[in-house]
Amino acid sequence: MIHREGHRILIVLLVLLAALNVVVYYFSPPTSVYFNVFLTFSVLLYLLILQFFRNPRRLTPAHTRHVIAPADGKVVVIEETEETEYFKDRRRQVSIFMSPVNVHVNRNPVEGVVKYFKYHAGKYLVAWHPKSSTENERTTIVIETPGNLQIMMRQIAGALAKRIVWYVKEGQAVGQGEEFGFIKFGSRVDVFLPLNAKVLVNIGQKTVGGVTVIAELEE
């Protein structure tokens, strides 16, 4: 299944590559290998972009105390940190890095109501840079659970990611595992948890968005 964010890009790319291949074929000498090489390159490039926009169906194990991974990728940060934008206190941060080969759909880690949303324009530092969380293009989304706990997600653009997409707004009720956004071409998602949340993943562990339980909340 191909994500809706990829439909226009994939159609434009297909038309462009087809046109370029026609030009190369027309102007290549009869015995030239240029056309075969360019055709092979075009197919491989298209398949690479195509896999980036894949959107596999996921069955989320819904649970009111579980925090589900918001993205596919690898856990790169687990630490206690000062959150200065919304909570303005100490929080437990879990960060997931998405490489260009990961699924880039972002999913709600909990069910509840969106209490806060803000988009920040910014830089495009590599996603694992320590300052990317505060200086890169990003969004901040806070969901309040039915148990009155608040969980923050922060979509962060990386060096390749030039566009963050979101599908939520303040006051909206959201379900656990539902899509809340998409980041194009490599990025990171930070999750900020209460300090008493029990983190269930480790540094370097791979996550499956909408499936992997990254933490358990105390209610």
C-beta of residue 209 within 8 angstroms of C-beta of residue 187: no
Of 147, 139, 144, which is closest to residue 106 (Cα–Cα)?
Answer: 139
Residue 5 pLDDT > 60, yes or no? Answer: yes
Residue 29: predicted pLDDT: 81
Q: What percent of the chain lies above the pLDDT cut of 70?
A: 90
Residue that wins the pLDDT comparison between 116 and 52? 116
- As a whole number, the mean pLDDT across the chain is 89
C-beta of residue 155 within 8 angstroms of C-beta of residue 137: no
At 81, the pLDDT band (50, 70, 90 cuts) reads very high
Of 115, 103, 117, which is closest to residue 184 (Cα–Cα)?
Answer: 103
Residue 70: predicted pLDDT: 97
Q: What is the pLDDT of residues 15-28, one digit of tens each?
A: 999 999 999 988 88
Residue where the block lists tokens 């439909």: 7
DSSP string, 122-147: -B---TTSTTHHHHBSEEEEEEE-TT
Residue 184: predicted pLDDT: 78
Q: Where are the alpha helices (DSSP H) in the chain?
A: 7-27, 34-52, 132-135
Q: What is the pLDDT of residues 149-158, one digit of tens each?
A: 999 999 988 7
Residue 80 pLDDT > 90, yes or no? Answer: yes
**Active-site residue (options: 42, 95, 132, 187):** 187
Name every residue whose Cβ is closer than 8 Å to that of residue 115 and which is 6 or more positions away in sequence.
142, 143, 144, 150, 170
At 162, the pLDDT band (50, 70, 90 cuts) reads low
Average pLDDT for residues 122-146, to the nearest whole number?
75
Distances (CA, A) of 119 to 28, 43, 84, 139, 156: 49, 36, 15, 4, 10
Of 109, 71, 72, which is closest to residue 194 (Cα–Cα)?
Answer: 109
Residue 42, classed as helix, strand or coil, is helix
Take residue 130 and report the two structure tokens written for it. Answer: 């320590």
Of 88, 71, 86, 80, which is closest to residue 156 (Cα–Cα)?
Answer: 71
**Annotated catalytic, 132?**
no
Residue 130 pLDDT > 70, yes or no? Answer: no
Give, for 151, the enclosing helix (H) or strand (E).
Answer: strand 150-157
